[in-house]
A and B are shown apart, each in its own frame.
Chain A
Amino acid sequence: MTFNEIQDMVNRIVFTTGFVGFDWKLIIMWAVGSLFIYLAIAKKYEPLLLLPIGFGIFLVNFPQVPLMGVSPEGHRHLIEIFYHYGLEWEVIPCIMFLGLGAMTDFGPLIANPKVLIIGAGAQLGIFVIFIGTVLAGFTLKEAASVGIIAGADGPTTIYLTQKLAPHLLGPNALAAYSYMAMVPLIQPGIMRLMTTAKERKIRMRQLRPVSKTEKTLFPLITAGIVAILVPSVMPLMGMFMLGNLMKESGVVGRLTDTAQGALMNMVTIFLGVSVGAKMHADSFLSYQPLFIFGLGLLSFAVSTMGGILTVKVMNLFLKEKINPLIGSAGVSAVPMAARVSQMQGLKYDKTNHLLMHAIGPNLAGVIGTAASAGLFIAMFQ
């Protein structure tokens, strides 16, 4: 073996290691990934998603790792396959909605359907942030995908972003899930600021029991109405209502169990890793993701205000007043936002339990966010 051969061999080995193409930006991304892993493990902030997202960020930010690209032979790398078939084909968010539907009890919403209006009011943040984002120089499609973060609904944010501005998928999903986890920190201050002590003590009548027939008909009615009014969002809403029909019908227990258990867990893994893997230093370390993170906080605040304001307006016309503390639950973030309403209610009256009342607007928020997403999709079709 000649010296040149040995040198060539060593060179080849060195050039296949991660030392080649190393960049200081990658170190920042390791820190970002580690931060989300820390938040998931130590703080329990949305661990089901932030953990795989954080690890995805960590993994793809090493030079030469064959995870998120295409091989010289034209084969997609592992996470690229998850991303392509799961997110680019818009499959994962819809399957997540199937699972969510199979887990959701719409009883509190059916028992008090007027809270649907709160779910609409709490979409205010989406439209306000849209304007802010456009003023900051984003395109309309980018603005719509950033605005939808205010709906506090992860799968809808991912679905719309993938459709309108796929290059923002990473920051948008991360902002949505991070702030959803921080709802208990963001909302209480705004709730106190926007309500009087008297309003916070409003007691609401106990919800009526809802029959099985009503619960079974609900997904059909909702799917029908949404399909007529906002057909573009039916891939999401259709799956959501199918999952719920499976649950409420009670005749397909095995399917319901799979949808809300194994299937949901599987797609959560693929979703988390794929979203994290989209955040390579080259695309993530720019002003846009930072701006999106900044706006995310504001968007949750404005949506919370929108929900509370809607209740206040409704109370002007209603005989039986609604406690405005449940208005904040109009942002989706199920069931975190409803729990915040419950906790705040108990703070001012130890016997005033608002949880079930707050679940109604919470679920209405999911439908409202999906409707907003549908309206944005229609805007660009």
Chain B
Amino acid sequence: MKRTMLCLLLGCLWILGHPSFSRAEDFLGVPLVPQAKIVLRTDSRLELLSHLSHDEIAQFYEKAFEEEKDIRVRDWAEATYKEDNSNRPWHSVTISKVRENGMTKVVIVKDSMGWLMGTLTIRYAAVFVVLSCLYLGMILAGAIISRTVKKAEAQKKPA
């Protein structure tokens, strides 16, 4: 009986300790919107639904990050996106502008090397694009110049 009780107690503690049951007021250092409902919680992502409007939540995070440096804010058509450009454990907070069943969705994503590798790969490729465009521009200009010179020489010859 004692063993069963102990197992039950440990089981309850494990369930309560699981991230999806966690009542912590922050995720990776990002404060959670008060009275919001957690709909998904993994080690790297947290999704919340709140009765508050987009503007109220945006204001909440604006205040929360008031003294934090290196946080970039993007105002997209469908969401407000806050991205950490420092070395905090979280990467972004996305506040949806589209209400779902009268609720506003907030997504907090953990910082990951995947994002960094992705953005750097794209930017390295972009350097190739810039210099390739310059290459094409030079070839085009060269072709136009040589054609113009040839034309001018041809016009001179009959004269």
Q: Which residues of A contact B (CB under 8 A)?
A: 110, 113-114, 116-117, 119-121, 123-124, 127, 130-131, 134, 137-141, 211, 213-214, 217-218, 221-222, 224-226, 229-230, 364, 367-368, 371-372, 375-376, 379-380
Contacts and interface: CB of A to CB of B under 8 A. Distances in A.
Interface of B: 70, 72, 85-87, 113, 116-117, 119-121, 123-124, 126-135, 137-139, 141-142, 145, 149
24 contacts: A113-B135, A116-B132, A116-B134, A116-B135, A116-B138, A117-B128, A119-B131, A120-B128, A120-B132, A123-B124, A124-B124, A127-B120, A138-B87, A141-B85, A214-B145, A217-B141, A218-B138, A221-B137, A221-B141, A226-B134, A229-B133, A368-B130, A375-B123, A379-B123
B120 A225 contact: no
Given A130-B120, A139-B87, 4 more contacts: A138-B87, A139-B70, A222-B137, A375-B127
Contact of A225 (B70, B86, B87, B133): B133
A140 B132 CA distance: 27
A221 B139 CA distance: 11
Nearest to B122: A375
Given A214-B145, A225-B137, A131 B117 contact: yes
A213 B131 CA distance: 21
Contact of A140 (B86, B124, B128): B86
Question: Chain A CB within 10 Å — which of B116, B127, B137, B141 has the most?
Answer: B127
A222 B145 contact: no
Nearest to A221: B137
A371 B130 CA distance: 7
A111 to B, nearest CB: 9
Contacts of A225: 130, 133-134, 137
A35 to B, nearest CB: 32
Given A117-B128, A127-B123, A367 B70 contact: no
Given A214-B142, A225-B137, A117 B131 contact: yes
A140 B119 CA distance: 12
A110 B138 CA distance: 7
Contacts of B139: 113
A380 to B, nearest CB: 6
Contacts of B134: 113, 116, 221-222, 225-226, 367
A134 B145 contact: no
B49 to A, nearest CB: 30
Contacts of A138: 87
Given A211-B145, A221-B141, A226-B130, A127 B135 contact: no
A215 B130 CA distance: 20
Given A110-B138, A124-B124, A367 B145 contact: no
Contacts of B142: 110, 113, 214
A113 B120 CA distance: 25
A372 B128 CA distance: 10
Given A139-B86, A372-B127, A134 B116 contact: yes
A261 to B, nearest CB: 28
A307 to B, nearest CB: 12
A380 B72 contact: yes
A134 B87 CA distance: 8
Given A117-B132, A117-B135, A140 B141 contact: no
Contacts of A375: 123, 126-127
Nearest to A217: B141
A3 B134 CA distance: 79
A-B pairs, top 10 by smallest CB distance, nearest first, are: A113-B138, A116-B131, A120-B131, A371-B130, A120-B128, A139-B86, A140-B85, A375-B123, A127-B120, A120-B127
A88 to B, nearest CB: 18
Contacts of A229: 129-130, 133
B145 A372 contact: no
B135 to A, nearest CB: 5
Contacts of B120: 127, 130-131
